[in-house]
A = this chain, B = another copy of it.
């Protein structure tokens, strides 16, 4: 389940489009290391496309000298990532001062099933962002970030709902994290078997993965005559 010690990259591609300019890492901290270096990209277009493809992320921080990672939501607005939290969370409590964090956004695109266990792999796209998160204090920026978060989960939804009250805005913590130090990494393409394994009578190929949306379940207390809204219909492709 890893890269080969002597990789033959015939079947594996790093990203689906050619990359004459993969960009340059903003710092050593985000430089993609070791034998999968060819999978790294640092250009804003690649990084933004991955961040824009899912709101789900994992946020890491250091507490009492030890690492902690939790799932949360992110949204990109221009070259800033906004992180969602509540005021009582570690993020809400700690980011009054610039707070060192690392965020990973990962999309799993396929299971790569090789003829050997060793060459099994996963097609994925991921971004890692490092930097200092700071709580947003400006109400207008906070409102924009929260609406953008709702719209990142279901595009168009923010305009359909009741806007937040002042009290609700206060009860929500939003942190901003510049995208200055970010890197993207991906594996795409097919199976990368050893040449001597190609004749084995073992199936090899890729099983695509994607996120499926099920049929919407209306709230039991929903009043009669309220249809599934345009945002949800668009999400489901209907």
Closest beta carbon of chain B to A211's beta carbon, Å: 6
Question: Considering the chains assembled together, what is the distance between the CA atoms of A217 and B111 in angstroms?
Answer: 10
Is A41's beta carbon under 8 Å from chain B? Answer: no
A45 contacts partner chain B, Cβ-Cβ < 8 Å: no
With contact pairs A60-B60, A62-B67 given, residues A2 and B213 touching in the complex (Cβ less than 8 Å): no
Per-residue contact bits, chain A 160-175, to B (CB 8 Å; 1 contact, 0 not): 1111110110011000
Query: Per-residue CB proximity of A49-89 to B under 8 Å, as 1/0?
Result: 00000001011111111111111010000000000111011
A16 within 8 A of partner (CB): no
Minimum Cβ distance to chain B for residue A139 (Å): 14
Instruction: Find residues 102-119 in chain A having any chain B CB closer than 8 Å to their own CB.
Output: 102-104, 106, 108, 110-111, 113-118
Q: Is the CB of A200 within 8 A of B162?
A: yes
Instruction: Give the docked Cα–Cα distance between A58 and B220 (Å).
Output: 35
For A110, the chain B residues whose CB sits under 8 A away are: 214
Chain B residues with CB below 8 A from A111, complex form? 153-154, 213
A1 contacts B by Cβ under 8 Å: yes
Query: Which residues of chain B come closer than 8 Å to A226, judged between CB atoms?
Result: 201-203
- Taking a contact as CB atoms under 8 Å apart, the answer to whether B210 and A35 are in contact is no
Determine if A161 and B114 form an interchain contact, defined as CB atoms under 8 angstroms apart: yes
Q: Indicate if A180 sits at the interface (CB-CB under 8 A).
A: no
A122 touches B68 (CB 8 A): no
Known: A35-B86, A68-B60, A104-B58. A164 touches B118 (CB 8 A): yes
0 or 1 for each of A162-193: is its CB under 8 Å from B? (1 = yes): 11110110011000000000000000001101
Check A120 against B61 for contact (C-beta < 8 Å).
no
Interface status of A128 (Cβ within 8 A of chain B):
yes
Contact of A215 with B by CB under 8 A: yes
In the complex, which of the residues B102, B200, B218 contacts A68, with contact meaning CB atoms closer than 8 Å?
A: B102
Identify which of B103, B153, B191, B229 contacts A203 (C-beta below 8 A): B229
* Complex A-B, nearest 3 residue pairs according to Cβ-Cβ distance, in ascending order: A208-B214, A60-B69, A34-B88
